[in-house]
Structure 1
Amino acid sequence: MSSTSSTTTTTGAAEGTRLTLEIWHPDCWGLQATEAVDAGLLVHTVHRTLDETIKGHFTAYADTTARLDEFVAFVDDSPLTYSTVELGQRPTGTAPDPGNVTRELFVEYDPEHSISDTLVSHGFIHDASVRVEAGAEHWPVFVAGGRAEVRDRLDTIRAETDAEISISSVAPAAADSAERFDRTDRLTPRQRDAFELACERNYYAWPRETSARELAAELGVSKTTLLEHLRTAEAKLLNPDGDMD
């Protein structure tokens, strides 16, 4: 899922729109794995092999090592994958890891079980790393064309792939895609849920309009767990290098 520069006019102004598509499609090992195990994936790059399979580079992440081990085992045992290779730790100096525990993977699988080629063939250009969580793929894409044309293209993709596709965010083409996507990708699903709920309920307002106890009750967790999720999310979002010191 390599990045592609956006279309520009002769004056340098970007044309088109940046979208985040939330996608489910049949027979996808990543969707099945993240639905079965409380863990997630970041999709960095994919390429076709000489054998016409796909090899992709992924970051798998979870809250605990045991949960991550369970996730990797599920992917490796899936009938939809050919091989799973662990690459070790992310090289120093790269973007911060998204979860408490992470692992770099190469996974080989059949292109028939990917929606990537279909999106590209209809003009949706990958704009940042794809995030897969809780049985849904979140695709940051750039697309040229008017709204009616974009809707028609999405309807065609749905019909061709039996996919469920919704638009979860829209931004102008000139928006900074790295800032929009990478910061929230540093959070685990539980951290993201806690932080977004706290923002929605004006927990960070002064005076506060809700309490940690009320937020915890709404999420169905203890107050201690809620505060730990918020503390970790705040540290990841506020520190540009992702350090937790």
Structure 2
Amino acid sequence: MASSHEQTQEQYQTSQITLKVWHPDCWTLETTERVNAGLITHGVYQHDGILSGRFTAYADTTEAIRELAQAIEESPLTDEIKCINEYFNPSLRTGAAGNATQELLVEYEPTYSIHDAFVSRGFVPEEEIRIHDGYEYWTVIVAASRGTIQQRLDEVRSEMDAEITVEGMKSARTDAAESNQSTQLSERQREVFELAQREGYYTWPRDCSASDLADQLDISKTTLLEHLRKAESKILGQLD
């Protein structure tokens, strides 16, 4: 039986959690599911009952960026979209996203956001939220026991009719270096590398081929292998 001291430590243990999230009536999920491009959320702010979100749209081509911007503009779940590249130094973000990027400001109703449901329950975003292929990927920190964390996630699921998968969890005791191997990858490189890991591309014998992965991502085999080569080079460099 755990001592009261151990229970207190567990109660206030800070954990980092990686979540894969889907919820209905969300323009970011609907548009990234339709278009072969992704979004990085830099910040969401509320004023006069309207949310304003700052995003980087990224893709392998500028045409895909245009398709995503058009899909966002045409979505009945958004009020307004503005391209704001001219206000920022592109070199600050393009290297962290993909081959083609576009800075966006999007206004929409709070009803269509799951952000407050997480933050109001103590889930603090530690990294920018990644959105691609119809899912949001959150990395959050929370100071609570695992039982409480599970209870709060169930509350978010119920309130937002959401599907939430915990893809990773570590406590403050975990060596952070173990999870930092992919922090220098671009968003597209990380997507491709993580998919390759999940699908068994790096097992022997391989469970899938480069062509299989390319088909899943709707990109050419050459483009996929280029992303993997760059990702592997960066990760191996960090292990030197």
Q: Which category describes the TM-score, using the shorter chain as reference length?
A: 0.7 to 0.9
Distance in 1, Cα, partners of 2:161 & 2:169 = 23
2:98 aligned partner: 99
Partner of 2:24: helix, strand, or coil?
coil
Single out whichever of 100-109 and 188-197 deviates more from structure 2: 188-197
Structure 1: which 5+ runs fail to align?
A: 1-13, 204-209, 241-245
TM-score by length of 1: 0.76
1:28/1:114 contact within 8 Å kept = yes
Partner of 2:13: helix, strand, or coil?
coil
Q: Structure 1 150/189 Cα, relative in aligned 2: closer, same or farther at 3 Å?
A: same
Task: Return the offset for 1:44.
Answer: 0.7
Structure 2: which 5+ runs fail to align?
A: 1-11
What is the total number of aligned residue pairs between the two structures?
219
2:37/2:68 contact within 8 Å kept = yes
> Match of 2:135, as an amino acid?
A
2:16/2:140 contact within 8 Å kept = yes
Q: Matches of residues 183-222 of structure 1 in structure 2 within 5 Å?
A: 183-188=184-189, 191-192=192-193, 196=197, 201=202, 214-217=209-212, 220=215
Distance in 2, Cα, partners of 1:143 & 1:64 = 37
Task: Return the offset for 1:180.
Answer: 6.3
Specify which of 61, 70, 84 is matched with residue 64 of structure 1. 61
Deviations 1:35-56 (A, max 9, x none): 111110000111111x210101
Q: Matches of residues 1-245 of structure 1 in structure 2 within 5 Å?
A: 15-49=13-47, 51-88=48-85, 90-93=89-92, 96-173=95-172, 175=176, 179=180, 182-188=183-189, 191-192=192-193, 196=197, 201=202, 214-217=209-212, 220=215, 224-234=222-232
- Could you list the structure 1 runs, at least 4 aligned residues long, displaced by more than 6 angstroms after superposition: none
Deviations 1:70-103 (A, max 9, x none): 0110001111111111111644345723211111
Q: Structure 1 20/216 Cα, relative in aligned 2: closer, same or farther at 3 Å?
A: same
1:63/1:188 contact within 8 Å kept = no
2:182/2:235 contact within 8 Å kept = no
Task: Return the offset for 1:171.
Answer: 1.9
> Match of 2:170, as an amino acid?
A
Q: Structure 1 177/54 Cα, relative in aligned 2: closer, same or farther at 3 Å?
A: farther
Task: Return the offset for 1:234.
Answer: 3.8
Percent sequence identity is: 37
1:128/1:177 contact within 8 Å kept = no
> Match of 1:80, as an amino acid?
L
Higher helix share: 2
2:21/2:136 contact within 8 Å kept = yes
Distance in 2, Cα, partners of 1:87 & 1:15 = 40
Distance in 1, Cα, partners of 2:76 & 2:83 = 18
